[in-house]
Structure 1
């Protein structure tokens, strides 16, 4: 995959392990920033009297930035290489984070969220493509699950930033920026320079996106659903919770359970998919997870029951991005993996953009429960669509 010093087969095992750990740390902080920004800013805007629709649309800016990055990620990677693109992503987030509390306002926050989205997307693209292309097929589910777990760790811890607001509006943002600086220094000092090998990303085959869709459309849907769920829950659930009578402390307590469930079940689901097939695992997890989300409106403000449902449902669908990407890698020729990576990121960001907008509109129209009816229904439909998908030869 890599030329020069980035070729993993020529490095010592200790160096390979260190490089992998640093990449995992980068993914953790990317999840941390998104997990913190979405609920913290949603609460700020709700308290400022901003409508739930505008609140959701402002949150979607994060994913508009991420979406725009996917359009140029393949070519930027060819020009900059892995290390430089990763550093650029980290630096963008470092610059944007401290500016949120310094200049509060919906218009300026929209721009800052765009920058954070671009930065986080660059981090994701580099790390997930690295893991995807160097992992043997027999271990693909397991290793991509470790990648997904790393993001889940950060995303689960992120909402705890709500509690740091008691110390001042600046505190969570300054702490987050400091963590990013530490990771950026590790990347700068310890990760090797390298670029994609010729023919893999720098000279992509024409028509690769269309053929990837034809061969693996079902495997690419999980990324969209995961993005929709993640953004809707972190942007709309704080508003939903406040509307039905939950406190901000209740919301801060409940949101991490979705990520915690994903952390617990991600690796087992990945290993099960290696053994029994990814399609079967995706269909089963999506169907059960969707039904559980649809139960949430019936639970009301019962915090313990909500936590249990979030943990189980989040655990089942929390591996959708990594399992879907692994499934696409099973189906597609190796030369199409960079394109599949772009498409998965594209789907994730598209789902993340429409999630807060759809959820916020439903809440504004007087139907908070629609947040979970639509979310759960999408996963159930995905499970049913699985019966119509058949894998074609490469």
Structure 2
């Protein structure tokens, strides 16, 4: 399999104020992605659960954005050669804003499949172009800081989504209208701050990335496991919560606890990974994730036990994504690193695609604890892979940079 890589190239170096304006514009796009997904995933899952849709079908429906990512990503470079970045992003925002009331106007789960796929295409465009745009604003002195801001804002969007859902509720047109309005308003920073500052996009030579799955299985598989785990938490955990007796609002609100762990623990885990063997950090994160999933049935009936457990679980399991990318940066350089990152993102999308149907099918077989079996099984398999790599892979010296 081959992947086209994007390189964001500015026509001329940006001044300090222009860089700040450009950063505001791209952060607005990231906020849309985070908040839109953070609200829509639990909202749609809860509405399908309320209407008696089987958990397996809920899982398949929630996999549509991941399928859109898998299908669209190879075509984005060609699209951006024909459509400038700002109009492209504005089109994605418009499509996403229109999709939200469409869910309300067409309350049929089978119609939600194409709507959700199209909405996923819009989110994919926002995510991919924003990520590459922010990379053009970074240099080697501030790349970690800016990408850290990117990750934090994205996680904050996920966290604020369930809070917003808790405030506006799940009844009627209100949640759909509020989400659509917020997404539409997010276009303003692009128009006010991004015009004339958006970078161009060109292709780099294609490269097969199958070899990276063999060369760095612990790092690349970390993307798959985190993609499946994160998507299952935001999609299936609210359903699990309702089935064990939580209210819909509480079941959605606890997702913010998971997201808060994501927000607050990325930097400490990253600092730890810079000071020790990163494969060991992956093994610890995987082990804590495995134990955290197994603990859910024992603590979910008490919010005072469930909250800290979910916070710790969310904070540590995100290390799979953070440290997985960091380990690839340790192992590879230049074009190899770009290809390795592409493989990692593809694995994340595959995980997000297969995770919800797997969990939903497990819940249909054992209601509701099949979710725990599916998630712990995946985490347990990754513990074995991470442990095998930690104990058998040759140690490589760290780059002095």
TM-score (norm 2): 0.86
Report if the CA contact (8 A) 2:293-2:375 is conserved. yes
Q: 2:124 aligns with which of 76, 98, 121?
A: 121
Could you tell me how far apart the structure 2 residues matched to 1:114 and 1:55 are?
Answer: 14
**CA offset at residue 257 of structure 1?**
0.6
Q: Secondary structure at the match of 2:301?
A: coil
Query: What residue in structure 2 maps to residue 66 of structure 1?
Result: 69
Could you tell me how far apart the structure 2 residues matched to 1:29 and 1:16 are?
Answer: 20
1:190 matches 2:193:
yes
Report if the CA contact (8 A) 2:47-2:170 is conserved. no
**CA offset at residue 21 of structure 1?**
3.0
1:358/1:225 Cα in 2 relative to 1: closer, same or farther (>3 Å)?
A: same
Alignment of 1:23-102 (within 5 A): 23-80=26-83, 82-102=85-105
Could you tell me how far apart the structure 2 residues matched to 1:85 and 1:328 are?
Answer: 30
Alignment of 1:168-247 (within 5 A): 168-191=171-194, 192-196=197-201, 202-205=203-206, 207-247=207-247
Provide, for residues 213-249 of structure 1, a one-character-per-residue CA deviation record: whole Å limited to 9, x for no partner.
4444432222212221121112211221122112213
Provide, for residues 54-73 of structure 1, a one-character-per-residue CA deviation record: whole Å limited to 9, x for no partner.
11111111221222122323
**CA offset at residue 101 of structure 1?**
1.0
Could you tell me how far apart the structure 2 residues matched to 1:102 and 1:118 are?
Answer: 20
Provide, for residues 84-135 of structure 1, a one-character-per-residue CA deviation record: whole Å limited to 9, x for no partner.
4433332321221121112211122111111121111112212223445664
**CA offset at residue 156 of structure 1?**
1.2
Q: 2:106 aligns with which of 97, 103, 106?
A: 103
Provide, for residues 147-191 of structure 1, a one-character-per-residue CA deviation record: whole Å limited to 9, x for no partner.
222111111111234334548522222222222222223223322
1:84/1:375 Cα in 2 relative to 1: closer, same or farther (>3 Å)?
A: same
Could you tell me how far apart the structure 1 residues matched to 2:138 and 2:280 are?
Answer: 22
Mean CA deviation greater in 89-98 or 327-336: 327-336
1:147/1:274 Cα in 2 relative to 1: closer, same or farther (>3 Å)?
A: farther
**CA offset at residue 382 of structure 1?**
2.5
**CA offset at residue 50 of structure 1?**
1.2
Alignment of 1:299-314 (within 5 A): 299-314=299-314
1:250/1:4 Cα in 2 relative to 1: closer, same or farther (>3 Å)?
A: closer
Structure 1 alignment gaps of length 5 or more: none
Root-mean-square deviation (CA), in Å?
A: 2.7
Provide, for residues 313-346 of structure 1, a one-character-per-residue CA deviation record: whole Å limited to 9, x for no partner.
1011124334423332332232244434433332
Could you tell me how far apart the structure 2 residues matched to 1:83 and 1:216 are?
Answer: 36
Report if the CA contact (8 A) 1:291-1:377 is conserved. no
1:186/1:133 Cα in 2 relative to 1: closer, same or farther (>3 Å)?
A: closer
1:3 matches 2:9:
yes
Query: What residue in structure 1 maps to residue 3 of structure 2?
Result: none
**CA offset at residue 300 of structure 1?**
4.0
Could you tell me how far apart the structure 2 residues matched to 1:128 and 1:279 are?
Answer: 26
1:286/1:213 Cα in 2 relative to 1: closer, same or farther (>3 Å)?
A: same
Mean CA deviation greater in 232-241 or 83-92: 83-92
The count of residues paired between Structure 1 and Structure 2 equals 386
Could you tell me how far apart the structure 2 residues matched to 1:324 and 1:78 are?
Answer: 31
Query: What residue in structure 2 maps to residue 330 of structure 1?
Result: 330
Mean CA deviation greater in 381-390 or 248-257: 381-390
Q: Secondary structure at the match of 2:368?
A: coil
Query: What residue in structure 2 maps to residue 365 of structure 1?
Result: 365
1:250/1:86 Cα in 2 relative to 1: closer, same or farther (>3 Å)?
A: same
Mean CA deviation greater in 128-137 or 377-386: 128-137
Could you tell me how far apart the structure 1 residues matched to 2:139 and 2:29 are?
Answer: 23
Query: What residue in structure 2 maps to residue 378 of structure 1?
Result: 378
Alignment of 1:310-321 (within 5 A): 310-321=310-321
1:272/1:127 Cα in 2 relative to 1: closer, same or farther (>3 Å)?
A: farther
Query: What residue in structure 1 maps to residue 4 of structure 2?
Result: none
Considering fraction of residues, name the structure with more strand: 2
Provide, for residues 344-390 of structure 1, a one-character-per-residue CA deviation record: whole Å limited to 9, x for no partner.
33222211121111111111112422312332343343344234245
Could you tell me how far apart the structure 1 residues matched to 2:138 and 2:317 are?
Answer: 23
